[in-house]
A and B are shown apart, each in its own frame.
Chain A
Amino acid sequence: MRLYSKYVGVLFKSQMQYRTSFWLLALGQFLVPFSVFAGLYFLFARFGQIKGWEFHEVALCFSIIHMSYAISECFARGFDSFSVLVGNGDFDRVLVRPRSTVLQVLGSKFEFSRVGKLAQSMIVLGWATSQLSTEWTILKVLVLVLMIVSGVFVFTGIFMLAATMCFWTVQGLEIANIFTDGGREMAQYPLNIYQKWVTRFFTFVIPFGCVNYLPLLYLLDKSTGNPLPYILAPLAGILFIAPCLLVWHTGVRHYRSTGS
């Protein structure tokens, strides 16, 4: 962990060398989800609600997934742009250092301009929670934090899976966008507005549903029966990282036996 923060320090120093372009990029990063949110706002202005969900409820959903995404894009950028690392042979360097590959890849890159995105989602989160009529208990706040953490793990896991693909081919990586960009776009609405198969896939295979939809039901007092599964749902998102790590290590093994 100490080493990880050292990595962050050095990379932060690097990015600060280009301060103007950093701020412009951060501003741009602020605007991207902002335009999506504006679209959301206009749709609600016209339709009022979506399958019984109010605007501020969907906004909460939106802000959680976008925040998780921004954080993982910032910290797991090394996996997100892993094709570069493999392409120019720098992964060999990772292998001759006495630390775990995951830690080193995570430490290879940070994208601090994502603070723009993060700021945007924080504002939305603040606004959405202020609109909610639910009473906030410590447990609920805890669940909210857990939801964000869970989302970070899910996105990082997907980045890791996509990065593993690079050991075999760098073509067609765009497909991973379905689960990152696509997952984010989809999970900004409560999952139950979609067809059954979509909801199921994104709950049981890639657990976006566990990140925001299920615990949201608890937060908004919409859950029926025992609330425990809803409270614990975000943990499933965190567990998602385990198989991803497994796949990653298989990929590294493949790389070391083929050198491709």
Chain B
Amino acid sequence: MKAYLSVFRLRLTNVMQYRTAALAGVVTQFFWGFIIIMVFEAFYSSSVVSPPISLEQLITYVWLQQAFLAFVMLWFRDNELFELITTGNIAYELCRPSGIYGLWYAKLLAQRLASALLRCLPILGVALLLPEPYRLPLPANPLAFLMFILALLFGLFMMVSLSMLMYISVFVTLSPAGSMLMFAVVGEFLAGMVIPVPLMPEWLQSIVYVLPFRWTADFPFRVYSGHIGLEEAAVGIAIQLIWLTALVGIGRFAMAKALRNVVVNGG
């Protein structure tokens, strides 16, 4: 456990060094948030049918998405890990006494946490103070906020387990760019990153709901705004936990298998 913690701390301080980059990132994400909100505003203003999610809830969705981008982005590349796998330097990692799955998990988790910590506070802080209609509303109620925090954290854990699967797949393909890009594009779409899940057509929603992706982004954001009620949220968090167990299980299994191959190949 101590080894995981120190890996975690190392990464955290590492990312924290890039403060200017973070500042630039915050400005960029603000701009994105504004564009997306303005587009939706335009859609809503001329809409005849009443949409399944209110504009205010949608704005919440957008700002949270921008603030916690580092949590919910599938495409969060760690070149260090890639090189480790493709160059065969993974042999060094195998020499270490701690389990590789845990170590990498800690690495990826720390990286996401660090960049989110740097960015989310300024974004949330400013978004809460913006003039209407752009302001980020407060959570629906205190309990919803608590649920949101839980859902967001479990979502983050799920996201890291998902990206672990992507890294493990590199063992097989050895060519990260192409296959990862496709996986990320599809996954992010299904997580509600391109358009919010409630605005998708029914048939697509029914697909989205059986896949793990939406639990990382769509679900926590809607808990915050109260679009998903408390009771439903509690059930959702339980489902998140089930998914998490399953994903970690699959990941560990696949990793063990992939590593065995590495050893056999002598590479």
* Direct contact between A and B judged by beta carbons closer than 8 A: yes
* A interface with B by C-beta (< 8 Å): 20-21, 23-25, 27-29, 31-32, 34-36, 38-39, 42-43, 45-52, 169, 171-175, 177-178, 182, 185-186, 189, 193-195, 198
Q: Which residues from chain A contact B51 at a C-beta distance below 8 Å?
A: 46-47
Contact of B20 with A171 in the complex, beta carbons under 8 Å = yes
Residue pairs across A and B with Cβ atoms less than 8 A apart, 26 shown, are A20-B175, A23-B178, A24-B178, A24-B181, A25-B178, A28-B178, A32-B181, A32-B185, A34-B185, A35-B189, A42-B200, A42-B204, A43-B199, A46-B49, A46-B51, A46-B201, A49-B46, A171-B20, A172-B20, A172-B21, A172-B24, A178-B31, A189-B39, A193-B38, A193-B39, A195-B38
* B interface with A by C-beta (< 8 Å): 18, 20-21, 23-25, 27-28, 31-32, 34-35, 38-39, 42-49, 51, 175, 177-179, 181-182, 185-186, 188-189, 194-195, 199-201, 204
Query: Distance (Å) between the CB of B179 and the closest chain A CB?
Result: 6
Contact of B32 with A31 in the complex, beta carbons under 8 Å = no
**When chains A and B are docked, how far (Å) is the Cα of A39 from the Cα of B195?**
6
Closest to A187 in B: B35
Query: Distance (Å) between the CB of B35 and the closest chain A CB?
Result: 5
**When chains A and B are docked, how far (Å) is the Cα of A35 from the Cα of B25?**
23
Known contacts A21-B178, A27-B178, A50-B43; is-contact A174 B28 (Cβ 8 Å): yes
Contact of B42 with A28 in the complex, beta carbons under 8 Å = no
Query: Distance (Å) between the CB of B167 and the closest chain A CB?
Result: 17
Contact of B35 with A185 in the complex, beta carbons under 8 Å = yes
Contact of A174 with B200 in the complex, beta carbons under 8 Å = no
**When chains A and B are docked, how far (Å) is the Cα of A195 from the Cα of B35?**
10
Q: Which residues from chain B contact A32 at a C-beta distance below 8 Å?
A: 181, 185
**When chains A and B are docked, how far (Å) is the Cα of A186 from the Cα of B31?**
10
Partner of A51, one of B20, B46, B186: B46
Partner of B194, one of A38, A169, A172: A38
Closest to B18 in A: A171
Contact of A194 with B42 in the complex, beta carbons under 8 Å = yes
State the main secondary structure of chain A at its contact with B: helix
**When chains A and B are docked, how far (Å) is the Cα of A193 from the Cα of B34?**
13
A-B interface pairs (CB < 8 A), number? 111
Partner of A47, one of B23, B25, B47, B181: B47
**When chains A and B are docked, how far (Å) is the Cα of A172 from the Cα of B28?**
10
Closest to B27 in A: A175
Contact of A31 with B185 in the complex, beta carbons under 8 Å = yes
Residue from A20, A27, A172 having most chain B Cβ neighbours under 10 A: A172
Closest to A190 in B: B42
Please list the 5 inter-chain residue pairs (A to B) with the smallest Cβ-Cβ separation, ordered nearest first.
Answer: A24-B178, A28-B181, A172-B24, A193-B42, A39-B194
Residue from A35, A194, A198 having most chain B Cβ neighbours under 10 A: A35
**When chains A and B are docked, how far (Å) is the Cα of A25 from the Cα of B182?**
9
Contact of B21 with A186 in the complex, beta carbons under 8 Å = no
Contact of A36 with B194 in the complex, beta carbons under 8 Å = yes
| Given A50-B43, A175-B27, 10 new contacts (CB under 8 A) | A23-B178, A25-B178, A32-B181, A35-B185, A43-B43, A43-B195, A46-B199, A172-B21, A182-B31, A194-B42
Residue from B39, B48, B178, B200 having most chain A Cβ neighbours under 10 A: B178
Contact of B178 with A194 in the complex, beta carbons under 8 Å = no
Q: Which residues from chain B contact A175 at a C-beta distance below 8 Å?
A: 24, 27-28
Closest to A29 in B: B181
Contact of B178 with A47 in the complex, beta carbons under 8 Å = no
Query: Distance (Å) between the CB of B50 and the closest chain A CB?
Result: 11
**When chains A and B are docked, how far (Å) is the Cα of A185 from the Cα of B47?**
22
Known contacts A28-B185, A43-B195, A182-B35; is-contact A173 B24 (Cβ 8 Å): yes
